[in-house]
Structure 1
Amino acid sequence: MDCRPSRTQDPNEWIATCPEGSRAVCEELRDLFFRWEPDLQESINSNMLCFNRHKRVVGLSGLKSHAQITFYRGGDLPDPGRLFNHGLENATIRSIDLPQGLEGLNQRALKALLHAAVELDAQPSLPKPPRPPREEWPMPSVLEEALQKNKAAAAFFEQLKPTYQREYKVWVSTAKQPETIAKRLNETIRALAAGKKWAQRKEAC
């Protein structure tokens, strides 16, 4: 998804000034979108050619080496053809990178995806899907070993909510130099033993 300032607000000029590596594909996709959903309206946003009804439904990015299709509510759409291959971790916006152009693209599946996106756009009052939960941050081995040696620190750490545990785990594990690791580890154990959350750790020094 291209977040640069738009080079133009004119869709025809946008197509004409796409990089050579994506211009023909973007032009063909534009024709397909209007053939499949003739009531769509065009606009330019964040240097993308967008196709709208109530809100933005789908957008095209013309990149140097390839084109990209972005569905603004892709996380809500059925994708039996498994076209989405970019932004799969996002709850809403998902994209299709086309490094090979339209060669090998399942156009029937893309057409169905576009129809579903337009139908979904007709229901703008639907609530946004919940954000996917963050993956648990792995426990640094040095912190785990230190907690095993300090019962008070370990007990307070265990009663902390996962969000507060994460702060300590991230802080310790993102240190790179041995002296930095040792310093943060010592501060962590001292703060935990004193019953302090990460934001309060300085109070235990």
Structure 2
Amino acid sequence: MTAKRDAKREDLKGRLIEAAQAHIQASGLAGLRARDITADAGCALGALYTAFADLDELILHVNSITLARLGAALEQEAIGAAEPRAKLKALAKAYLGFARDNRMAWKALFEHRMAPGVAVPEWHLAEHAVLIQHLVEPLAQLLPARDTPDLLARARTLFSAVHGIVAISLEDRFIGLAPTDLESELLGFVDTMVSGLETERE
């Protein structure tokens, strides 16, 4: 009996995640309502709160799927690049491509905020940290004398810079890059940064 109940609960969670994912992909977090999600999932409004603590927890699970897809895209793009410059440029290109192709889901990763006083669960923070780890290996090749904390700090700086360029440009901010220039300028930025790191190493 317990196994049957658990299976039903997992099925409900899956339908709710799928429905929330579709809403976020279509229109982002703005206007996301529990009532719409449960209607699309074919369940009562209260059923959401038997599967998840609240709407925020459901969004975290959708974002978890997006992070896994983003991580896979980064890994796939960089798999054939052994040299650190090529790998970092491949990662930047993959990040831009994913953001372009999955705009709303990608934005939800950075726009979602927990309720005041509620911390982001450790499991979800760990998933975000995986994105930084993709940068640590090529940075370690460029800066072999640096220890892990320094490499992590540099990786966060690089990620923030690339994310900022992508986000400002895709949001059509007046200081952002034109779509025709964005990829080449982004890769040029990474090139310049790597050249600086090579000089620093020497």
Q: Do they fold alike, i.e. is TM over 0.5?
A: no
Asked which structure has the greater RCO (Cα within 8 Å, sep 6+), the reply is 2
Greater strand fraction, Structure 1 or Structure 2: 1
Greater helix fraction, Structure 1 or Structure 2: 2
Q: TM-score, normalised by structure 1?
A: 0.27
